[in-house]
Amino acid sequence: MSDDIKRLLENNRKWSEAIREENPDFFPTLEKQQAPPYLWIGCSDSRVPANEIVGVMPGEVFVHRNVANVVVHTDLNCLSVIQFAVEVLKVRHIIVTGHYGCGGVKASMLPAQNGLIDNWLRHIKDVYSLHQAELDGIGDERERLRRLCELNVQHQVRHVCSTAIVQNAWSRGQSLSVHGWIYGLKDGLVKDLDVTVSSPGEISPIYIYSRPGA
Ligand code: CO
């Protein structure tokens, strides 16, 4: 076995030991049931690990990550995660977390081809296009990227809220808030973008579904 892989397995043994030493019931308790109050939708970027950033142990946050934290209404993977999290786990918060300096967002601003992934990043080009006047007006390239990273999160929050899954949860009276956060690679700090949505009243009418059976 190569050393870089061996290292991971050794780390795992030490990690498991340390946790069991502190709390022998930790794994047996978790094995029986997970009841995380949060669903995290974040970027696949290796520098943005969900649990570590918010200091929670296994069992506390259900996680979906993809390139540039995009929520696409035809992506069965992301939709299945949202459905399971909302309807079965009954999470109380969905947190879309972007990050400054996102390579996916940056690539979406450039004309260079990157292969298949360009089709995924097209969703962010669409966000750019919706905010073209504001973004084109930002002279500094890094500032423009920062702003697009923020706008991308805002749009993905709206996409989460535009699903029947989230709207049906609200119709049932389930407590559910959708938040937009952005993480700074340079200082490890999360900023709340203040775009939290907790009811259908905050969604554009065209995206509102009637209650099932209504
Ligand atoms: Co990223």
Residue range 166-180: mean pLDDT, rounded: 97
Alpha carbon 69 to chain centroid, angstroms:
5
pTM of the model: 0.95
Distance, in Å, from the CA atom of 210 to the CA atom of 214, rounded to the nearest integer, reads 6
pLDDT computed for residue 211 by the predictor: 86
Residue range 42-71: mean pLDDT, rounded: 97
pLDDT tens digit sequence for 78-129: 999 999 999 999 999 999 999 999 999 999 999 999 999 999 999 999 999 9
pLDDT tens digit sequence for 175-210: 999 999 999 999 999 999 999 999 998 899 999 999
pLDDT computed for residue 7 by the predictor: 97
pLDDT computed for residue 55 by the predictor: 96
Q: How far, in Å, is the centroid of ligand 1 from the Cα of 98?
A: 7
C-alpha to C-alpha distances, 76 to 70, 72, 80, 166, 192, nearest whole angstrom: 13, 9, 6, 15, 27
Q: pLDDT-based confidence at 137, cuts 50/70/90? A: very high
Annotated active-site residue in 7, 20, 47, 172: 47
135: how many CB neighbours lie within 10 A of its CB?
Answer: 18
Query: What average pLDDT does the chain have?
Result: 96
Could you confirm whether 102 is annotated as catalytic?
yes
pLDDT computed for residue 33 by the predictor: 87
Q: How far, in Å, is the centroid of ligand 1 from the Cα of 60?
A: 23
Annotated active-site residue in 64, 78, 93, 102: 102
Task: Sheet with 93-99: list strands edge to edge.
Answer: 61-66, 38-43, 93-99, 177-183, 190-192
Q: How far, in Å, is the centroid of ligand 1 from the Cα of 126?
A: 17
Range with the poorest average pLDDT among 23-27, 31-35, 42-46, 175-179? 31-35
With beta carbons less than 8 A apart as the criterion, state whether 127 and 69 touch. no
Q: How far, in Å, is the centroid of ligand 1 from the Cα of 47?
A: 9
Q: How far, in Å, is the centroid of ligand 1 from the Cα of 208?
A: 29
User: What percent of the chain lies above the pLDDT cut of 90?
Assistant: 96
Q: How far, in Å, is the centroid of ligand 1 from the Cα of 182?
A: 11
The beta strand positions in the chain, using DSSP E, are 38-43, 61-66, 93-99, 177-183, 190-192
Residues near ion ligand 1 (CB < 5 Å) are: 43, 45, 102, 104
